Amino acid sequence: MKKIIIPLLTVLILVLLTACTEITEQPEKEHNGNETDQESEQVEELAGEEIVQGGLKVHYIDVGQGDSTLLEFEGFSMLIDAGNWNSKEAVDYLKQQEIQDIDIVVGTHPDADHIGQLAQVIGEFEVGEVWMSGNTSSSNTFLNALQAIEASGSDYVEPRSGYSFEVGSLQIEVLYPDEITGATNEESVSLKITYGDVGFVFTGDAGVKQEQEMIDNGMDLDAEILHVGHHGSNTSTSPEFLKAVAPEVAIYSAGADNSYGHPHAEVIAAAENSGAEVYGTDVNGTILVRTDGKSYRVETQQEGVPTEGENRCIDLNIASSAELQEISGIGEVYAWSIIDQRPVENVEELLDIKGIGQGTLDDIQEQDLACIGG
């Protein structure tokens, strides 16, 4: 399957001018997964099984209220999302792991808690390709990321469902989206990554409807490790999706004491009832999964039992249009005006939006839903 490699300058111009154009397909760049000499394999005993040191390592990085996952395999590295816009944990962690080159960086969707440090990652590391859904945003975070891609010369790719790539014995399959309509969260780039007999599924912030489309499309979703969608929100991870994936381990990424109420109680309960062992970055810190393709183990920075969040808020800086409209007083027009204006530093900046007066602002604040994430 060919990848569509898109001249990033074209995309940047499209965003800045809010115009549309057709993209042409170009030959794909081959990954061979052997860019550096492989380290000698070291074998250690684990729970009665042998696991090869030097196989696949998947780091679910603790970036607070955001997403970032690093995969390392025999000289090949891949980063799925790059943390929140107001933090630097993703870049710091990559440096701690002595990462220098990243073959593929995926921005599952343009929200600032997923591509927050993308520009910095591209600026500080050699990045071969950047994969994004093709959905755009007018936020400075997104525009900075596009400018960084263009300046770096990295290839820009918009993967679509049905695409598959092989990196040695590592297989990457694109589960979603098939096409884009502007639904940024829902049309997150979703992937299944398989190493030997061990599978990993990542769905960004894709929702229940999109999960069902993956099921209906006949995708092979079965995987040992599921990265729980949308930080454990009940907008994702339906019982049907859990049944299709049948994970043994479910991992969510969320900030400690976050204001969204992530993870939601029903999601944790559903995952546990499906037979999965649940881990979360809010209580376990960075979570590392090692596998030799036959067995795997989960390592955590700290002990902790995931529990549901107590509060929920809708972050004006990262919420989708649909989520913003859950706040009484914010309709579709106001929602898109907020998206165009962000990032904002406080809820009071809603007064800068034409049509929102003090009375409307007071009504919004009384609901205790609108917030600025930390």
10 Å CB burial of residue 352 (0-12, 13-18, 19+) is exposed
- 8 A C-beta contact, residue 242 and residue 271: yes
Q: What is the pLDDT of residues 269-321, one digit of tens each?
A: 889 989 999 999 999 999 999 999 999 999 999 888 776 554 556 788 877 78
Query: What digits encode the pLDDT tens for the residues 188-199?
Result: 999 999 999 999
Contacts of 113 (CB under 8 A, 6+ apart): 65, 66, 67, 83, 84, 85, 315, 318, 373
215 and 107 within one domain? yes
The total number of structural domains that make up the chain: 2
| One domain for residues 225 and 296 | yes
Query: In 3-state terms, what secondary structure has residue 15?
Result: helix
Task: Please state, in angstroms and rounded to a whole number, the distance separating the CA atoms of residues 91 and 83.
Answer: 9
- Asked whether residue 197 falls in the same domain as residue 331, the answer is no
Burial class (CB in 10 A: 0-12, 13-18, 19+), 275: exposed
CATH code of 54's domain = 3.60.15.10
CB 69 within 8 A of CB 288: no
Boundary residue ending a domain (265, 300, 335): 300
Residues 239 and 356 reside in one and the same domain: no
What pLDDT band is residue 53 in, cutting at 50, 70 and 90?
low
Q: How confident is the model at residue 366 (pLDDT cuts 50, 70, 90)?
A: confident
User: In terms of residue numbers, what domain contains 201?
Assistant: 5-17+48-300
Of 172 and 267, the one with more pLDDT: 172
At residue 5 the predicted structure's pLDDT band, cuts being 50, 70 and 90, is low
> Do 272 and 337 reside in the same domain of the chain?
no
Is this structure's pTM higher than 0.85?
no
Evaluate whether 4 touches 157 at the Cβ level (below 8 Å): yes
Task: Choose one of 270, 300, 330: the last residue of a domain.
Answer: 300
Asked whether residue 256 falls in the same domain as residue 334, the answer is: no
What is each CA distance from 112 to 140, 299, 315, in whole angstroms? 9, 28, 11
Q: What is the pLDDT of residue 143?
A: 96
pLDDT score, position 130? 97
Say what the pLDDT of residue 343 is. Answer: 87
In tens, the pLDDT along 332-359 reads 899 999 999 888 888 999 999 999 999 8
| CA separation for the pair 241, 232 (Å, rounded) | 13
- 257 and 333 inside one domain: no
DSSP, res 37: P
CB 12 within 8 Å of CB 150? yes
Select the more confidently predicted residue: 50 or 57: 57
Q: Which among 182, 246, 188, 247 has a CA at the least distance from the CA of 213?
A: 188
The residue out of 300, 322, 355 marking a domain boundary is 300
Kindly tell me if the per-residue pLDDT of 42 is higher than 90: no
Type of residue numbered 249? V
Q: Within a domain: residue 84?
A: yes
Q: Is the pLDDT of residue 363 over 90?
A: no
Residues 292 and 255 in one domain: yes
- Domain assignment of residue 35, yes or no: no
Residue 32 lies in a domain: no
Is 293 part of a structural domain of the chain? Answer: yes
Same domain, 163 and 242: yes
- Choice among 48-57, 168-177, 264-273, 362-371 with the minimum mean pLDDT: 48-57
Instruction: For residue 28, tell me if it sits in a domain.
Output: no
Exposure string over 42-69, b if 16+ CB within 10 A, otherwise e = eeeeeeeeebbebbbbbbbbbbbbbbbb
For the domain that residue 318 is a member of, what is the CATH number?
A: 1.10.150.320
Q: Which pLDDT score, from 0 to 100, does residue 367 have?
A: 75
Residues 211 and 341 occupy one common structural domain? no
Is residue 43 in a domain? Answer: no
Of 219, 268, 225, 269, the residue nearest 244 (C-alpha): 219
Domain for residue 38, yes or no? no
3-state DSSP assignment of residue 95: helix
Report whether 121 contacts 91 (CB < 8 A).
yes
51 or 23, greater pLDDT: 51
For the chain, give the mean pLDDT.
85
What is the per-residue pLDDT across 85-140, written as a single tens digit (0 to 9) for each? Answer: 988 999 999 999 999 999 999 999 999 999 999 999 999 999 999 999 999 999 99
Residue 370 has pLDDT above 50, yes or no: yes
pLDDT, one tens digit per residue, over 212-265 is 999 999 999 999 999 999 999 989 999 999 999 999 999 999 999 888 888 988
Tell me, yes or no, whether 296 and 331 share the same domain: no
Residue 57 lies in a domain: yes
288 and 367 within one domain: no
**Which strand (E) or helix (H) includes residue 166?**
strand 164-167
Torsion of CA 180, 181, 187, 188, to 10 degrees: 70
